[in-house]
Structure 1
Amino acid sequence: MKKIVTLGEIMLRLSPPRFQKIEQTHLFEAVYGGSEANVAISLSNLGLKSSFVSKLPKNPLGVSAEQYLKKYGVLTNHMIYGGERLGIYFLEKGFSIRTSKVIYDRNGSSFSTAKLEEFEFDEIFKDADWFHVSGITPALNEELFRITKKALQVAKEKGITTSCDLNYRSALWSLDEARKKMTELIEYVDICIGIEPLQLLGEDGTDIKDRLPKPASVQDYKEIMGLIQEQFHIKYLAMTFRESISVNRNRLKALLFDGDTFYQSSEVEVEIVDRVGTGDAFAAGLIYALINNYDLQNAIEFATVCFALKHTIEGDVNLLELGDIEAFVKDKTTLSIRR
């Protein structure tokens, strides 16, 4: 069985029920989530051997977060323990024309206090086939940037396939800092998801991506993806596209580029139960398809269906299993009850 290692922060997510604003509510619905943890759980649900590496506090919240991972079969045997608290984020879901809002409470979390010397990467990557990380982890502080870089370097030295979902978060760092740091990491990445915040400088010293028209077309992005692949020599570059009909209804599709050919998925229209974690579902679907040697058109179709179906699931994680996803890939118009 193929083994995938992910590294990042798992947090407690607190959300007011029934699309309430935080100021209105007296109750919060609690689940766990975080980009790399979401990917690890999705891959485990798809039948792969999935390991999640992080640092948790040795208290009931840390124990509960680890139990949540184990519930879905994720391996936590390289988990580090220490620090005083689990990171938290609050999600206020939007509705109709009111957008969603996220408030982070993660400063001083156990994961943010992690040190490079705490991670035994030779052991962590033992028998691993793939390593995945997001752009959120190196954004948290300089030490976690160093940890991410070292992990990617060791994985590459061992011949392990590496992937990164760039996941730019303006609440965590400036675009200029993100462009500098993520461009430094990309040389160790085989599969890149997204194009921002990679630096793509023109002759005048400005970033070519900043010149994209608004709204930009798929063809505009194809040109940028081609330039990025040419500059950074990434094996596969993928990205998703979202057309918002309303906050609760979107049209979705995705692109995959191998340096020669663009593979575009079918479009899927969805009504949204929960948008958080949809990009992680896409990343997991793409990893699953590529590690199982799907042809590239089928790989981007599978990943896009994972992306779309996650919108229908409450919480951070795509909890659908392989059979659910394959059934939708086979016939996207089938909405009857499976008996």
Structure 2
Amino acid sequence: MAKKVVTMGEIMLRLSAPGFKRFSQSDSFDVVYGGGEANVAVSLANYGLDAHFVTKLPKHEIGQCAVDSLRKFGVQTDYIARGGDRVGIYFLENGASMRPSKVVYDRANSAIAEAEISDFDFDEIFKDAEWFHFTGITPALGEKAAQLTEEALKAAKRHGVTVSVDLNYRKKLWTPDQAKKVMTNLMQYVDVCIGNEEDAEKVLGFKPGHTDVTKGELELEGYKDIFKQMKEQFGFKYVVTTLRESHSASDNSWSALIYDGNEFYHSKRYDIRIVDRVGGGDSFAGGLIYGLISGRDFKQALEFAVGASALKHTIPGDFNLVSVEEVETLIKGDASGRVQR
């Protein structure tokens, strides 16, 4: 039987300006659904796990469209509560070359932000589960969402579930002080912590050495120093970061670093031409969870995660629609992009 994994958060309606148009040029939008934890659930379902997504969505047709978008890719939706008034929306303008992508949120008072703890039976949700994943986006939605997240974490720990977090700081949702207050408390429940240099600083107060992603440079020693501090303070089993060297909105280099308390491991590095970078971090988290839960050692798991997320950057939409076999082909060395016949 496939291993049961649970993710919880907000799934939103994404309205994208077609192609590389600016918002002001667009008289229509492309529609997809996505959101941090939903994206991870889709990855895990694609890899053959029993993936469950927990959220609250309105009973109306747009809420049902969001549910259906998950079902299409095999995500279990039995634990989704129905009710509330609205589905969160975000607008995306895709960047190119030196022009960055832009996101505008319209997600205040969404159903999950207003959800009550009583909407969910967390003991049932985590029964027989092996893994729970959440991000720093969910508790940033408001006090209710932060309380809901902690209640879920307590239940996960009661059931002996491994917990991962992607710190995912979003400055449009809360301040660093708010993030530190809430997230530092939640770290007591976490086994695997994922976050980039901004997340480590803004969410938990750790700052790397001389890394500046806008200059396309990496300073790994700075990360190693932070990772040691984070493991010492919170007792994480693994501390992990993606390493994005941003040469432009179209071209990035992509790798990752993991620390298990004894050894640092830096993955293979990929040079990627970006089709859609939204969901890149989520695809990394999904790949890492799959790698670890499927019995790979932490180095192999990291290579799987980096390969999976490199591929995601080539796929439009939030979801990473790749198979285990496709990821394994890439990490074994075939990055040619030749037609498969």
Provide the TM-score with structure 2 as the length reference: 0.95
The answer to whether the 8 A contact 2:169-2:202 is kept is no
Partner of residue 260, structure 1: 262
The answer to whether 1:223 aligns with 2:225 is yes
Residue 213 of structure 1 deviates from its aligned partner by 2.6
Q: Distance in 1 between matches of 2:334 and 2:262?
A: 28
Any residues of structure 2 matched to 1:72-221 within 5 Å, and which? Answer: 72-194=73-195, 197=199, 207-209=205-207, 212-215=209-212, 217-221=219-223
Q: After superposing the two structures, state which structure 1 stretch, 57-66 or 108-117, moved more.
A: 108-117
Cα distance per residue 1:189-224 (max 9 Å; x no partner): 0011016545799xxxx9451x73352611111111
Cα distance per residue 1:23-51 (max 9 Å; x no partner): 11101000000000000001000111100
Q: Which amino acid aligns with 2:83?
A: G
Partner of residue 21, structure 2: 20
Partner of residue 300, structure 2: 298
For 1:236, which of 232, 235, 238 is the aligned residue?
Answer: 238
The alpha-carbon distance between structure 1 residues 336 and 79, as it changes in their structure 2 partners (threshold 3 A), is same
Q: Which amino acid aligns with 2:317?
A: G
Q: Distance in 1 between matches of 2:329 and 2:210?
A: 37
Partner of residue 3, structure 1: 4
Q: Distance in 2 between matches of 1:33 and 1:235?
A: 29
Q: After superposing the two structures, state which structure 1 stretch, 163-172 or 113-122, moved more.
A: 113-122
The answer to whether the 8 A contact 2:211-2:222 is kept is no
Partner of residue 215, structure 2: none
The answer to whether the 8 A contact 2:16-2:30 is kept is yes
The alpha-carbon distance between structure 1 residues 121 and 103, as it changes in their structure 2 partners (threshold 3 A), is same
Q: Distance in 2 between matches of 1:207 and 1:271?
A: 32
The answer to whether the 8 A contact 2:278-2:318 is kept is yes
The answer to whether the 8 A contact 2:180-2:205 is kept is no
Partner of residue 63, structure 1: 64
The answer to whether 1:43 aligns with 2:44 is yes
Let me know the Cα RMSD of the aligned residues. 1.7
Q: Which amino acid aligns with 1:160?
A: V
Residue 335 of structure 1 deviates from its aligned partner by 2.6
The answer to whether the 8 A contact 1:56-1:82 is kept is yes
Partner of residue 283, structure 2: 281
Structure 2 spans left out of the alignment, 5+ residues? 213-217
User: When the two structures are aligned, how many residues end up with a matched partner?
Assistant: 334
The answer to whether the 8 A contact 1:87-1:105 is kept is yes
Partner of residue 333, structure 1: 335
The answer to whether the 8 A contact 1:163-1:191 is kept is yes
For 2:271, which of 254, 269, 272 is the aligned residue?
Answer: 269
Partner of residue 251, structure 1: 253
The answer to whether the 8 A contact 2:176-2:202 is kept is no
The answer to whether the 8 A contact 1:239-1:255 is kept is yes
The answer to whether the 8 A contact 1:70-1:76 is kept is yes
Q: Distance in 2 between matches of 1:197 and 1:220?
A: 14
The alpha-carbon distance between structure 1 residues 207 and 28, as it changes in their structure 2 partners (threshold 3 A), is closer
Q: Describe the SS at the equivalent of 1:169.
A: coil
Q: Distance in 2 between matches of 1:97 and 1:266?
A: 26
Q: After superposing the two structures, state which structure 1 stretch, 329-338 or 110-119, moved more.
A: 329-338
Q: Distance in 1 between matches of 2:289 and 2:335?
A: 25
Q: Describe the SS at the equivalent of 1:284.
A: helix
